[in-house]
Structure 1
C-alpha cells in the first residue's frame, strides 16, 4: 500500500518504508475534524506516511525515523503539532518530548499547543497545561503528556522512557544530542518509538551533519524511514513566484505573498533559498577511499601463512549477500578479498551459514554488524556452533578507521579490480558518514545504485582479524579463502 500519491505530485522527494499495510491517520483526521481542524492535501498525505503501519501493527518508520525538509511558512508546525496533540488524546499514557535548538522556538511551540488545549472542542482531553520549574508541558486526562524544551539548555538528556521524540530545527542537531536521546525512544513503554526530524537545509556554519546524513541515507535508498522534501529547482531565482509555489505547498492559499516578501526582505539571498525555497547546498561527494592508494595496494596473488577471518554484510534491500575475508599476517599486514557475493532472493541465506561452518575450525573470527540485514544469519550460524562477533556503530567506526589506516600505511593488500569487480565498485562508490563527534566514521554510498556490502564485509573481516583472540590452532603455508 502506498501513501505517496497525495504528496508525490507536490514534493520533490517522497520516500517511504517498505511493507506498509495501513495507517493510523484516519483516526487522527476524524478527531481533528470533530475539533474543527481540516488538513490540506499535502498535510493529509504527510500524516498518512508519518503514522503508516506494518501488518503487525507497528509503526513503519521506527528504525530510520521520519525526516522532513520543509521550508518556513508552510504550516509544518501546525501539521505535526496537531497530529501529536490528537495522537496524545487517542493513545493513553503516551509520552512525547518536543525539542528545538533555541529556547524561543521551543516556547513558541508550547504556546501553540497551549492555544490548542484552550479550544472548546479540545478542553475535555486536557488535565493541565503548566510550566513547572520553567519546563512547559501539556498533560492529558488519559495520562499522556507532551514536554517542551531547548537543546541549547540541555533539555532532553536523562529521559529513560519516551514514546515520541520531535527534533524541531533539525538543521541544528548534533550526533551527540541524538545519541543521548534516542535510547529513551528505544525504551518506549508502549513500544512505539517514533522519532521525527523537521527542519530546513542547514547553512554551512550549522552543525547540520545529522540532518544531512539522514537526507543522504534516504536518497541512497535506505529502508525503514520516511523522507519528505519540498524544494524549488536549484536554478530558481528568489523572486520567482512559481518557485515559491513549488517549494511551499501552502502558497498562496494559506501563506500569502506578503509573508514571502517579508522573508525575502529579512533574509539574504542564500538564506532565502534555504529557508523559503528549501534548496540544499550542493554536496560534493568525496570518495571515502583514496583511488591511488587503493591502486598501490594491488597484489597479483595473496601471500600465505596467515590466519583468516570473515565478515558478512547484506544490502539494505536484501538484494545481495557478501562474505569478505581477511588474512592477517604475523607482521601486522593484511590481505582482503570478497570470497562470495550472491543474491539471497535466488539462493536464500542458509548456504552462507553452511559455507562458514565448513571453514570455522580454521577461522579466527566471523563478524556481523548489528545494524545490518545480515543479522538474519545470526541464529543460523549459532545453530551450527559458529561463534559470531557482533559490532555496533562505535566498533564499526573503529573498523573503518583501521581499514583507512592500514591502507594509508601500505599494510593492506587486495587482488586486482578486474578479479574483484563488486568490491572495486563498492570502493569507488563509497563515501564517509560521521559517527559521533570523535572523528569516527562509517561507510555510506553515493547513490541508490551503489552496493557497498562487499566493502563492509571486508572491513568487518579486517576488524575481526585484528581483535579476535581465537587461535584456530593451525598455521599453514597456504590457507584457502574461498
Structure 2
C-alpha cells in the first residue's frame, strides 16, 4: 500500500489494469500545469491518467484514438475531465469538444463546475467570448491562439440521437456504463471528419448492459486494439469457487482492497466511509460501486470455450446413464436458479451427462427451496454413489442438510473442481491422439450454458467463470461436478507392485 498521510492509508496511484499504446511524448504535463493555474491540483493518479491518455505520436497526433477510464465514484474522475476540457479550450489545437452524460443534471453539474474554474481564473476568463446557458444547449466559446480561432465546449445529455450532427475533435462519454450501442452509433461518427480525434469513455464498474464500455475493456485485456488507452482501478475479488483462506484473490473487507480500487482513499475518501458503505450496501452493490468489480457483458457472443461443432458432435439422444450414478447440484451466485444433474456410464464406453427431471420438468428451476427435497427424492429412488456439491459456492448451504438426511456428499476442493473443468473440456474437445468420452442429449438449458460460458485462470489451471458469464451456467457447472464425481467413484485403486523378494 502507498505511504500513509496523517496515519491514514492512501489509495494505489497506479491502476490494476493498464493498456496504453506507444508514444514519443505527452501533453499531460502541460495539461496538469494549466489545471493548477485554474485551482485544480491533480493527484499522482490523475496525472498518470492525463499522461497516458494524452500521449502523442511522432507526427503530433494522439497515440490513443480511444480512452477508457474505470474508477469508482468520489475518487476525482471529474477533475480529470475538467483538466482535459480546460486544455481543449485554452491550450490544445482542437476546435470542438463534446461532453456527454447519461442524465441532464450530471451534464449541467459538469458545465457549472468548469464555469466556476474559468470564472475564478481571470487569465482564462478573458478569452471567453460566449457562454450558452439554455437548457440542453450549455456551452462555452473561446477565441484564442495564433492565428486566433474559435474553440468550443458543448455539454449534451445522451439520447438515442444525442450528438448526431456535431463534429468534435474530442468526445467525452461520462457515465459510460450506461452508454448504449445506439448512442455510440449517434456519437462516434462525429469524430470521423476530424484530423486528430479522440473518444473518451469514463465511468465506474459496468453491468451486463454496459456493452460499449465492456467492449473496450475486453480489447484492453486481450491487447487487440493498438490505438486504445485503458485504465481501471479495481480488485480481483474472490469468487464462489474460492475457499475461505484464498490467497489468490483480493478480499472484499480489507483496507488493502479498498486502496487498490480507490486511488482517492486517504485523499478525499476515508476508510471509515467505505466501511460504512460495506455495512449498509448489498454485497454485490458494494463490490460494483466501491471495489470496481463489474458484472461485465461477455463480448464475442457465444461458444468461446467449447466450440459449437464439438459440443453438438457429442449429442446422443438415445443414450441413458447407468450405475454407478452420481448427482450434482449447483446454484447461481445470486441464488436465482439452481440445477441438479447426473452422470453415469452409458454401457458404450461413454460418460452420459444430463439435467435430471421428472419427465415433464427439468431440475433447472428458479429459487433454491426445492433443491434439498428433490435431491433427497432422487437419492431414495436411484441410490446413486454420491451427490457432488461445491462447498465454497452458494450450493454449499445444502451440505449439512443433505448429510443429515443420509445423503453421501462429495465436496471437491477448488483445485479438484478446476481439474474437473479441464477433464470435462477434454472429454468434449480431446487433445490430438485422444477420442471424446462424453455424450449428452442436447438439453436446451445445458447447451445454452455451454454456449455462453467463460473461463477464468487459476494459476496453472482454469475453471468456469460464474460471475462474468453472459448466461446462467449452473447446468454446465452441475454436469462438470457430476462428471468429476463419477470419475472419482469409478476409479480403480492401483494394485500394489509385487515384490521380487522377501
Which TM-score bucket, shorter chain as reference?
A: 0.5 to 0.7
Structure 1 partner of 2:217? 215
- Residue of 128, 131, 139 corresponding to 1:129: 131
The offset of 1:136, in angstroms, is 0.9
Mapped pair 1:40 → 2:43: yes
**Residues 185 and 250 of structure 1, relative CA distance in 2, 3 Å threshold:** same
1:16 matched residue in structure 2: 20
Matched ranges for 1:33-432 at <5 A: 33-62=36-65, 65-91=66-92, 94-121=95-122, 122-142=124-144, 143-152=150-159, 154-159=161-166, 161-188=167-194, 191-204=195-208, 207-222=209-224, 223-235=226-238, 236=250, 238-257=252-271, 259-260=273-274, 263-264=277-278, 267-281=281-295, 286-288=302-304, 291=307, 293-294=309-310
Per-residue CA deviation, residues 359-414 of structure 1 (Å, 9 max, x unaligned), is xxxxxxxxxxxxxxxxxxxxxxxxxxxxxxxxxxxxxxxxxxxxxxxxxxxxxxxx
Gaps of 5+ in 2: 1-10, 145-149, 239-249, 314-429, 434-453, 458-502
Contact residue 32 and residue 83 of structure 2 kept, 8 A: no
Deviation at 1:177, TM superposition (A): 1.2
**What RMSD, in angstroms, separates the aligned Cα atoms of the two structures?**
3.2
User: Does the Cα contact within 8 Å between 1:70 and 1:230 map onto a contact in 2?
Assistant: yes
- Whether contact under 8 Å (2:205, 2:293) holds in the other structure is yes
1:281 deviates by 3.0
Alpha carbons 1:220, 1:446 under 8 Å: kept: no
Q: Which 10-residue stretch deviates more, 45-54 or 114-123?
A: 114-123
Taking a change above 3 Å as real, the CA distance of residues 131 and 55 of structure 1, as seen in their structure-2 partners, is: same
Q: In the TM superposition, what whole-angstrom CA distance separates every residue of 1:430-449 from its partner, at most 9, and x where no partner exists? A: xxxxxxxxxxxxxx9999xx
Q: Distance in 2 between matches of 1:91 and 1:151?
A: 25
Please, what TM-score do these two structures have when normalized by structure 1?
0.55
- 290 and 30 in structure 1: CA distance in 2 versus 1, 3 angstrom threshold: closer
Query: Contact (CA 8 Å) 2:88, 2:97: kept in 1 or not?
Result: no
The worse-fitting range, judged by mean Cα deviation, of 80-89 and 213-222 is 80-89
Deviation at 1:225, TM superposition (A): 0.4
Alpha carbons 2:172, 2:199 under 8 Å: kept? yes
Report the Cα distance in structure 2 between the residues aligned to 1:275 and 1:165, rounded to whole angstroms: 25
Structure 1 residue 93: Cα displacement: 5.7
Structure 1: 5+ residue runs without aligned partners?
1-6, 298-415, 420-443, 448-482
Question: What is the aligned residue count?
Answer: 292
The Cα of 1:94 is off from its aligned counterpart by 1.8
d(CA) in 2 for partners of 1:169 and 1:51? 20
> Would the alpha carbon gap of residues 175 and 94 (structure 1) be closer, same or farther in structure 2, given more than 3 Å must change?
same
Q: 1:126 to 1:260 in 2, by over 3 A?
A: farther
C-alpha deviation, 1:198, in angstroms: 0.5
Deviations 1:84-105 (A, max 9, x none): 2123211356201111111121
Q: 1:238–1:269: 8 Å Cα contact kept in structure 2?
A: no
In 1: Cα distance, 2:275 partner to 2:311 partner: 54
Could you tell me whether the CA contact under 8 Å between 2:172 and 2:201 is conserved in 1? Answer: yes
> How far apart are residue 296 of structure 1 and its match?
7.4
Q: Identify if the C-alpha distance between structure 1 residues 282 and 156 changes in structure 2 by more than 3 Å, giving closer, same or farther.
A: closer
- In the alignment, the residues of structure 2 paired with residue 79 and residue 48 of structure 1 have an alpha-carbon distance, to the nearest angstrom, of 11
| Residues in 1 aligned to 2:104 and 2:177: alpha-carbon distance in whole angstroms | 15
Distance in 2 between residues matched to 1:9 and 1:86, nearest whole Å: 23
SS class of match (2:178): coil
